[in-house]
Structure 1
Amino acid sequence: MAASVPRTALVTGGSRGIGRAVVERLGSVGTVVAVHYGHDAAAAERAVAGVRAAGGRAFPVRTELGAPGAVDELARGVEEGLRLHTGSTGLDILVNNAGIGCRADIDSLTREQLDRALEINVKAPVFLTQRLLPLMRDGGRIVNISSVAPRVAHPHVLGYAMTKGALEAFSRSLAAQVGPRGITVNTVAPGLIETDLHRDRLRAHPEEAEEAAALTMFGRIGQADDVAGVVAFLASAQSRWITGQRVEATGGAYL
């Protein structure tokens, strides 16, 4: 009897924070995971090593999103790694998680800030998805990581909220196009999550941490694995009847 073909995934920004938690979740159920990273090779190797230590398979792929030719470079690295680990370039799951902040209000926002945020938070996932769709098997899963910011007014992250709103619009439109292939496209919108991006600031300003925890229904700040569980469900066969949706993972903040 022929061996079953393993499911495969690419997680962008997979070396740290929410991305790493998603990598570990997917790897724990036998998915072969391509772990994209931009700069921190050591963090990517730790993420890969964690999956392998648990009996799974993963490999790192370095690309600086936003740089010229980055999408093709990343796609080629994914293809090479999948071929090496599975004998095929077929992709089942794409998690567009990589992103950057854009902290500025309307008075201080610069053209350079907004261009950079649009390049990485919008253009990179759009054109990476375009490049990888021919590799994606029917019945595949695309999960885009957004934020609560497009729904709740945050004047000091105006540019960031705009980019995540654009990503959500992309998800809905894409879902309508790829639905006939059985591919689902959904958005996960976290609230404040205790990742490297926020941890030092929250420790330096405990009053901010207390306020953020009080906003949730559970009296605590979210953890990366809280979001990873939602992503893993949307990447699974059990989510086959859910597409074009925005799923908030905020612990009930801003209800």
Structure 2
Amino acid sequence: MPTALITGPASGIGAAFARRLAADGFSLVLVSRDERRLSESADQLKLRYGVATEVLPADLGTEEGLARVESRVADGVDLLVNNAGFGHPGRFTEVPVQDETRMLKVHCEAVLRLTLAALPGMRERDRGAIVNVASVAAFFTHGTYSASKAWVVNFSESAANEVGNPRIKIMALCPGFVRTEFHQRASMDTTGIPDFLWLKADDVVREAMRDLALGKRVSVPDLRYKAIVALGKYVPRSVQSRVSASLGR
């Protein structure tokens, strides 16, 4: 039975990945700093899908937590989903620098280190997959969040190119606005976001898994967001910034 390790699986896109992979017959290793919710999620998945679930409480924003997960990944996983992440409600100039560097540790350093930890075993088995959850924000300019997600996209494409093995797939997943707890946890105002821009987490994961099977290195779920990203390439950065600011962080 293949094993998938998912960071941030207690809600939103991470939880949708956990449901989908459990339904596909994967054993799960679930990583989150919220041990109570993690255990509840593991119990529900085990009861519903009958799969083995391993709980790994860890805070990827700390060296101790990241090292613990890094060690588990190095023990061997068939699919790694780097999904953990968060946002800040204010402009980056208004956010304490320690909070910004914590974001970079979770969004960038953790993705780098866990990817590197997973690759030796995947090379040895000559198969495996890594999904690094980024965001449509990666293609636009709006603070440290979008900058960190742009790094995830570039890194994922670069890593896939350097590995150079079609049986080891590395993909950046770039969803738009998704109905999750993400914005509420970050105290973000979402009232300016039109209803038609919201996606469902299960739909995002379904399209992501399809794109992964097709060998895509960047997945942008939903035609609406594919069009937004395509059009964004022709829009001046100054205009992009004004539009994203009007939609909220």
- Provide TM-score, normalisation by structure 2: 0.79
Residue 65 of structure 2 corresponds to residue 70 of structure 1: yes
Deviation for aligned residue 1:234: 4.5
Q: Quote the residue 2:25 is aligned against.
A: 30
In the alignment, does 2:157 pair up with 1:172? yes
User: 1:17 maps to which residue?
Assistant: 12
Gaps of 5+ in 1: 1-5, 80-88
From 18, 23, 36, give the equivalent of 1:42.
36
One-letter code aligned to 1:187: A
CA contact (8 A) 2:211 2:219 kept: no
SS of 2:199's partner is: coil
CA distance 1:206–1:117, shift in 2 (3 Å): closer
Q: How does 1:197-236 map to 2 (within 5 A)?
A: 197-198=182-183, 207-208=191-192, 211-214=193-196, 216=197, 221-234=198-211
Within the candidate set 94, 111, 115, 2:101 is matched to 115
Query: Cα–Cα, structure 1 residues 234 and 95, in superposed 2: closer, same or farther, change >3 Å?
Result: farther
- Among 131, 138, 148, the residue aligned to 1:143: 131
CA shift, 1:226, in A, is 1.6
After superposition, residues 75-94 of structure 1 pair within 5 angstroms as: 75-77=70-72, 89-94=75-80
Per-residue Cα deviation, 1:202-223 (whole angstroms, up to 9, x for no partner): 9x97843xx4313x3xxxx212
Distance 1:133 1:190 in 2: 25
Query: Hey, what's the Cα distance between the residues in 1 that align with 2:72 and 2:170?
Result: 23
Percentage identity across paired residues of the two chains: 28
State whether residues 146 and 168 of structure 1, in contact with CA within 8 Å, keep that contact through their aligned partners in structure 2: yes
User: How has the CA–CA distance of structure 1 residues 78 and 138 changed in structure 2, closer, same or farther, with 3 Å as cutoff?
Assistant: same
Flag structure 2 segments of 5+ consecutive residues without an equivalent: 232-249
Distance in structure 1 (CA, Å) of the matches to 2:92 and 2:86: 18
TM-score, with length taken from structure 1: 0.78
Aligned-residue offset at 1:153:
4.0
> How far apart in 2 are the matches of 1:223 and 1:199?
16
Q: Secondary structure at the match of 1:90?
A: coil
8 Å contact from structure 1 (residues 25, 232) kept in 2: no
How many angstroms apart in 2 are the aligned matches of 1:7 and 1:234?
19
Count residues in correspondence. 224
Would you say the 8 A contact 2:2–2:26 is kept in 1? yes
- Gap change, CA 1:201 and 1:73, over 3 Å in 2: closer
Does the CA-based 8 Å contact 2:137-2:149 persist in structure 1?
Answer: yes
Give me the whole-angstrom Cα distance separating, in 2, the residues matched to 1:185 and 1:62.
Answer: 25
CA apart distance, 1:248: 1.1
Q: CA deviation at 1:7?
A: 1.2
Tell whether the 8 Å contact from 1:34 to 1:78 is kept in structure 2 after alignment.
Answer: no
SS in structure 1 of the partner of residue 148 of structure 2: helix
Distance 1:150 1:67 in 2: 24
State whether residues 3 and 26 of structure 2, in contact with CA within 8 Å, keep that contact through their aligned partners in structure 1: yes
Instruction: Give, as a single letter, the amino acid of the residue that structure 1 aligns with 2:180.
Output: T
- Listed one character per residue, the Cα deviations across residues 51-91 of structure 1 (whole Å, up to 9, x for unaligned) are 21222222211111121233331134457xxxxxxxxx432
Q: Which amino acid aligns with 2:60?
A: L
Question: Could you tell me which amino acid in structure 1 is paired with residue 118 of structure 2?
Answer: L
Q: Residue type of the partner of 2:135? A: S
User: Contact between 1:10 and 1:93, CA under 8 Å: does it hold in 2?
Assistant: yes
Cα distance in structure 1, aligned partners of 2:23 and 2:200: 18
CA contact (8 A) 1:140 1:183 kept: yes
Aligned residue number for residue 124 of structure 1: 110
Match for residue 86 of structure 2 among 93, 100, 108 = 100
| In 2: Cα distance, 1:200 partner to 1:184 partner | 31
